Chains A and B, each alone.
Chain A
Amino acid sequence: MLYFSKWKAFAILAVSAIICLMAVPSLLSPTAYESLPGFLQRKIVLGLDLQGGSYIVLQVDAESVRKVRLEHLRDDARRVLRDAKIGYTGLAIQGDAVQVRIRDGQDADAALTQLRALAQPLGGPMSTSGQLDTDVSRDGNVIALTPTSAGIQSRTIQAVAQSIEIIRKRIDQLGTTEPSIQRQGADRIQVQVPGLQDPSRLKALLGQTAQLTFRLVDTTMSPQQALQGRAPAGTEILYSQDNPPVPYLIEQRILVAGEDLTDAQPSFDPNTREPVVTFRFNTNGARRFAEATQANVGRPFAIILDNQVISAPVIREPILGGSGQISGNFTVQQANDLAILLRAGALPVPLQVVEERTVGPGLGADSIRAGLIASIVGAALVALFMIATYGLFGVIANIAVAINVGMIFGVLAMLGATLTLPGIAGVVLTVGIAVDSNVLIYERIREEARAGRSAISAIDAGFSRALATILDSNITTFIAAAVLFYVGSGPVRGFAITFGIGIITTVFTAFTLTRLMVALWVRWRRPQRVPI
């Protein structure tokens, strides 16, 4: 137990030193860190609770996915029936299905065949599962199109993937450092943005679908008449952003939508000096916008964002250049954010914020200070106690614990793990538990010496017997840490990581470093008596 070959001693020291040194890049200034070679650029990430920032979980609502899917089905059904020149009435969304009544019973079969073509195989056209995303059924003259739950599920997954891309584009525009955007489970997106002063802006950017459409205003009746009576077919009432909101009667038909924008920038109207957003259409959008404006000179059209009317200017002349501007009493920031949203594109479905945790930079700094003070005080108290109890062997234990802590940070850096405030607590607790391995060894040595063994034989037996116990007791604690890592989230996971790594490094140092240091001491002093 006390014999170490030269190369073994060297290997132990080398491994410990290298792992400790891995923590060094985390301490460097950003410029020094950047100058390191790539394989050394690994560092500990401070958790949001320490550096301040926002953690937001967004959820794609299966109901919204269903609603969007139903709306598309309805529009597709209308197009299909029109193209096939089949007469129908009452095309509408009824609960979980789109229903339509075919006027002439003779057409019903033809209509069914046409509408069946709208159902897509799940998993793409090459899929062999035979499952479709939509059920098309006929009951007399009524045909119902019902999205299947498997279809909704696969669309939800698609929606999450698309949303992650769009959210990334939006957040990149904020210019914050190292945002993290990840899928969480089947229908959630976890967004972490460090160091943001005001999360309300972030939430506003994430929470908006940003579906932009250009549509004509229906002027055949006033919105008030439409509100009282029946709005003409193919129109709906939408409100402006003003307070109180002003109603507009808007055609459902979309002239051009946000997908056809190639660019959007905030700027100022040269005449009014008001903040506006200027935009440019792609070729397709420009052509359609030109045609629409040519045909409707003198009529108002509306610019609509997420079912709210931003402005409704009158078309004075055809707009052929493929660009334009949106003005709507914006502040500079609003114009800026709208431009960001338009550039990044619309979310496929609305997202809901289901969890939000924001820590201001002030509290983060306080937590770092508190964690640091607690660590120093805790380590100092434990170290003093160990020296008081075990003298020289206490010093050896303290060196082992110090290297142990260095190794925890080294491993954290290698893994690129996140250090949270509970994580710091985990380190402090590790200091408490790491000395336990030394205590176990030393107490066992004392016992063996009392039982009448010579000093060297007592030290040897003490180590070999205590190490078995150390392994057994630490494995159970490690199981608890592993479960915690598995079920925990955020800061709790941070605790589990440092605690778990701490247990491993503790066992490692007990088996190698402490033993090596004691062995060297024994070889040097040839003790006749156990010094504890």
Chain B
Amino acid sequence: MRLLRIVPDDTKFDFIRFRRISFPISALLSIVALVAFFTLGLNFGIDFKGGTLLEVRYANNTLNIGDVRSRLEALDLGEVQIQEIGGEGEVLIRVAQQPGGEQAQQAVVGKVRAALGEGVEYRRVEVVGPRVSQELLSYGIVGLMMAVLCILVYLWFRFEWQFALGASIANFHDIVLTIGFMAIFQIDFDLTSVAALLTILGYSLNDTIVIYDRIREMLRRYKKMPTDELLNASINSTLSRSVITHVTVTLALLALVLFGGRAIHSFSVTMMFGVVLVGTYTSIFIASPLLIYLGVSTRTLAEKPESKGPNAKAERLAP
């Protein structure tokens, strides 16, 4: 059987020279993302904004969306979003946070239930009060920052500072672009989005580290190779792995996007963008070329004793 080979052996792409194109592109995209974030803003879900969300279903084509709208508008609850979803008589109702503290939020569900009457299946009801939404938001932000910090410290410990800095710049770039994407397409930003961002972070780093690991190995082995040549060789020799892994992750995510259900749809779409589009691109075109500017060379490692970490051990074990 002939095996599928996506990337031919011994590619010699000059990724490092490509930085003269990829860096300006990334800078431009980051600016677009930041502009989108500050002008359009994120579409905060009730987790962070507070309020009420109801998912209801009308059986057997009894849904009359105009009727639902007029009944709910008569309640005078401020901003109410009504959205038909699926196609089986399902409606998503979002009611903005009510003035008057926790109890006022609780009253909304009762009012909506009374207004919609009998014959409605309540598939999902979520009420988040002002206090909890504030906390969830600050937890989310603290979580993201903590993750970046922990990973930075770990990288610093395992590699040299140049690698840690390069990885975190790349990381930051990933998060900015993903948040920009969410702002442009107004994807619901809720707790699962924070989970998506953190996973994107993990994945992108995973990728970056595989290449960095190789760079470090080559730095130890080829002490006389010029840095740009060495970086190119490292990226090229891991290219096949980068591509194959991204195909498998894309296939897994594709299944989630297509069949995973609405509850995790925004999560899957965000991951698809972050992991598949941004993550790979960043590790190859941003994180690795950055090392040139951060002054990585064979001398960086020469100062440190060679027997460090499992890599050195692996070297010893190999015949």
> Which residues of chain A have a CB within 8 Å of any CB of chain B?
1, 49, 57, 59, 199-200, 203, 207, 352-360, 362-363, 366-367, 370-371, 373-375, 377-378, 381-382, 385-386, 388-391, 421-422, 424-425, 428-429, 431-433, 435-436, 439-440, 443, 446-447, 450, 457, 460-461, 464-465, 467-469, 471-484, 486-492, 495-496, 499, 532
Interface membership of B294, Cβ < 8 A? no
Distance between Cα atoms of A194 and B52 in the complex (Å)? 21
Assess the B240–A378 pair: CB atoms within 8 A: no
The dominant DSSP class at the A interface is helix
Contacts of A472 in B (CB 8 A): 158, 209, 213, 309-311
Please tell me if B244 contacts chain A, counting CB pairs below 8 Å. yes
9 cross-chain CB contacts under 8 A: A354-B129, A360-B123, A385-B251, A389-B6, A428-B256, A469-B210, A471-B310, A480-B199, A495-B192
Q: Is the CB of A352 within 8 A of B143?
A: no
Q: Which of A377, A425, A457 contacts B319 (CB 8 A)?
A: A457
- Number of B residues near A (Cβ < 8 Å) is 87
- Among residues of B, the one whose C-beta sits closest to the C-beta of A58 is B102
Contacts of B244 in A (CB 8 A): 389, 439, 443
A385 touches B247 (CB 8 A): yes
A65–chain B nearest beta-carbon distance, Å? 15
The interface residues of chain B lying within 8 Å CB-to-CB of A491 are 191-192
Determine how close the nearest CB of chain B comes to the CB of A103; give it in whole angstroms. 41
Q: How far does the alpha carbon of A487 sit from the alpha carbon of B57 in the complex, in Å? A: 33
Distance of B53 from chain A, by nearest CB (Å): 9
Whether A483 pairs with B127 at a CB distance below 8 angstroms is: no
Residue with the greatest number of chain B CB neighbours at <10 A, chosen from A370, A492, A532: A492
Q: Which B139-166 residues sit within 8 Å CB-CB of chain A?
A: 139-140, 142-143, 146-147, 150-151, 154-155, 158
Q: A391-B1, A495-B195 are in contact. Are A479 and B131 (CB under 8 A)?
A: no
- Alpha-carbon separation in the docked complex, A472 to B313 (Å): 13
Closest approach, in angstroms, between the C-beta of B213 and any C-beta of chain A?
A: 5
If A359-B123, A480-B198, A495-B195 touch, does A468 touch B254 (CB 8 Å cutoff)? no
- A447-B237, A491-B191 known; A367+B263 contact, CB < 8 A: yes
- Closest beta carbon of chain A to B277's beta carbon, Å: 15
The answer to whether B203 has its CB under 8 Å from any CB of chain A is: yes
Task: State how many angstroms separate the Cβ of A303 from the closest Cβ of chain B.
Answer: 25
Among B3, B110, B121, B199, contact of A389 (Cβ-Cβ < 8 Å): B3
Q: What would 4 more interface pairs be, CB under 8 Å, given A352-B129, A374-B258, A378-B255?
A: A422-B195, A457-B319, A472-B158, A483-B146
B260 in the interface, Cβ–Cβ < 8 Å?
yes
Contacts of A49 in B (CB 8 A): 263
Task: For B126, give the chain A residue with the smallest CB separation.
Answer: A357
CB distance from B238 to the nearest CB of A (A): 8
Whether a CB of chain A sits under 8 angstroms from the CB of B22 is no
Residues of B within 8 A of A356 (CB): 106, 109, 125-127
Which of A355, A377, A482, A495 touches B128 (beta carbons < 8 Å)?
Answer: A355
Check B310 against A473 for contact (C-beta < 8 Å). no
10 pairs of A and B residues whose beta carbons are closest in the complex: A370-B261, A378-B255, A487-B143, A432-B252, A480-B202, A477-B202, A381-B251, A432-B249, A363-B123, A483-B147
Nearest-Cβ distance from residue B22 to partner chain A, whole angstroms: 22
Cβ-defined contact, B151 with A479, below 8 A: yes
Complex interface: chain A residues within 8 A of B194 (CB): 484, 487-488, 492
In whole angstroms, what is the CA distance A266 to B57 when docked? 35
For residue B112, give the distance in angstroms from its CB to the closest CB of chain A: 12
B28 within 8 A of partner (CB): no
Quick one: which of B10, B55, B147, B259 contacts A370, CB cutoff 8 A? B259
In the complex, B220 has a CB within 8 A of chain A: no
Could you say which of A356, A359, A386 has the most chain B C-beta atoms within 10 Å of its C-beta?
A356
Contact of B261 among A378, A421, A435 (CB under 8 A): A421
**Given A467-B310, A483-B143, does the pair A353, B106 have CB atoms closer than 8 Å?**
yes
